[in-house]
Structure 1
Amino acid sequence: MVEHQRRPGWAEVEEFLSQTLVHGGPGMAAVIESIDAAGMPRIEVAPTAGKLLMLLARISGARRVLEIGTLAGFSTIWLARGMPDGGHVTTCEFLPEHASVARRNIDAAGFGPMVDIRVGAALDTLVTLDGGEPYDFVFIDADKANNVEYLKWALRLTRPGAVIVMDNVVWEGAILDPVSDPDAGAIRAALEFMGASPALDATAIQTAGSKGWDGFAIAVVR
């Protein structure tokens, strides 16, 4: 019998890719440490996904970014790193204790002046942003039940050519059998909204790694 060599798993490949390509630096490691120290859930984006956000923001030329779901500021910092001098990030966080951790991390990373953290229910915050200067880039990574509403607000608060990224759109494949999982049903509804909207041109990328089997939806506002 030939003994087959064990192949590396998703998380091991992700670690290699992070070390080889991402180069997050000690500041990003400190954010992860702050999450653990505060007893917060480890639901931040993977480093490879964080840098993808940075690159998408840079490629799109975004100067104004809206983030729905701050947690400890990990993705917020990546987004800020992709913006030019004078850029601005508005990020919405429901829990005050999470917003406090994020504020410290964002300030420590040197992006404090360009990041405005709004505390409270995101749908309440988004109402207050209506009528202001449009956003160039929106990242949605919050409670899944409100994804469709977040997308509607993203369309209202952006301009043609703006980029919208929504996280956690595969949900371990549960989007194909969402009956027993309300979050999966909400994610599927958001994807169907994106696909049917004449105002969006969208696709999705499946991912596999330390966060399991998941993915991003990426859309451009027409």
Structure 2
Amino acid sequence: MSDAAWTAVDDYIVGHLLGTDPVLDAALAANEAGGLPAIDVSAAQGKMLHLLARMAGARRILEVGTLGGYSTIWLARALPEDGRLVTLELEPHHADVARGNIAAAGFADKVDVRVGPAIESLDAMITGGEGPFDFIFIDADKPSNVAYLRAAMALGRPGSTIIVDNVVREGGVLDADSDDDRIRGTRALFEAVAAEPRLNATAVQTVGAKKWDGFLLAVLGAAE
């Protein structure tokens, strides 16, 4: 499902509020040249993540799902001078492209790209006491959404912001009988958030260049 007007409105937003961005354009070009799938957040969505991280006063950011580093750069731009971002990527080639993009954007000293299954990386971070993170963005394989959420909570603190991408899936989230693991993982995420008293959450539908989808947004509360 798509509509040409959705992309046109995104273009209008970018033209009026974001303008041209050679660094991010170069990152997308490098992603394409490297054969990465074109599944990055849109420019307007990237700016939204940037602003949310700034509003949260984030000094330490965790990203689950790096791809080519497009959203990583948006988030890194929100960090203060002494800020730090850890981003997790399964595919070594994607991570290599991301490191190049992140370095070209001037954030090689602030961003740590870690390669391997995100669950294993997250478990190691929890064991190593690497938290707390102020802002956590989850945009990886959807069947693991609940595991990523639990890890985010373990690595967060009271007041941490947790954002999960792709939670509407063109309305697929309504299909209780779906055999699509991505939809089943997304529905499980909603159930887990709804049952978790420490999370104050909502979800927002989006339309635009990335078609019909949405974000789940939550703030972590104190343990009871």
TM-score (norm 2): 0.94
Provide Cα deviations, 1:156-210, integer angstroms capped at 9, x if missing partner: 0000000000000000000101413221111011012112211100001110011
Instruction: Indicate which of 32, 37, 42 corresponds to 2:33.
Output: 37
- Please say if 1:159 is aligned against 2:157: yes
The residue type paired with residue 198 of structure 2 is A
User: Does the residue aligned with 1:135 lie in a helix, a strand or coil?
Assistant: coil
1:76 aligned to 2:69?
Answer: no
- Report the Cα distance in structure 1 between the residues aligned to 2:175 and 2:114, rounded to whole angstroms: 35
DSSP-derived class of the 1:126 partner: helix
Instruction: Report Cα offsets for 1:73-107 as digits up to 9, x if no partner.
Output: 00000001111111000000000000000000000
Show structure 2 runs of 5+ residues with no match: none
Distance, in Å, in 1 between the alignment partners of 2:5 and 2:206 is 13
What are the equivalent positions in structure 2 for 1:52-201 lying under 5 Å apart? 52-130=48-126, 131-178=129-176, 179-201=178-200
- Aligned residue type for 1:190: L
Aligned to 1:220: 219
1:22, distance to aligned residue in structure 2 (A): 2.1
The DSSP-based 3-state class of the residue aligned with 1:85 is: coil
Identity of aligned residues (%): 49
Give the CA deviation at 1:61: 0.3
Give secondary structure in 2 for the equivalent of 1:61: coil
How many residue pairs match? The answer is 216
Q: Supply the distance in 2 between the matched residues of 1:24 and 1:124 (Cα, whole angstroms).
A: 38
1:174·1:181 contact (CA, 8 Å) conserved in 2? no
Which residue does 1:4 correspond to in 2? none
For the Cα contact (< 8 Å) 1:68–1:141, is it kept in 2?
Answer: yes
SS in 1 for 2:200: strand
| Contact residue 24 and residue 47 of structure 1 kept, 8 A | no
Q: In structure 2, what is the Cα distance between the partners aligned to 1:23 and 1:162?
A: 30
Aligned-partner SS, 2:159: strand
Report deviation, 1:25. 1.0
Of residues 15, 20, 24 in structure 1, which corresponds to 2:11? 15
Take 2:216 and 2:195, find their aligned partners in 1: how far apart are those partners? 14
Letter in 2 for 1:123: I
When residues 24 and 53 of structure 1 are mapped into structure 2, their CA distance, relative to the original with a 3 A threshold, is farther
Does residue 1:205 correspond to 2:201, yes or no?
A: no
Letter paired with 1:139: F
The gaps in structure 1 that reach 5 residues or longer are 1-6
Cα separation, 2, equivalents of 1:133 and 1:210 = 34
**Match of 1:155, SS?**
helix
**AA aligned opposite 2:41:** V
Report SS of the residue matched to 1:62: coil
How many Å separate the matches in 1 of 2:105 and 2:79? 14
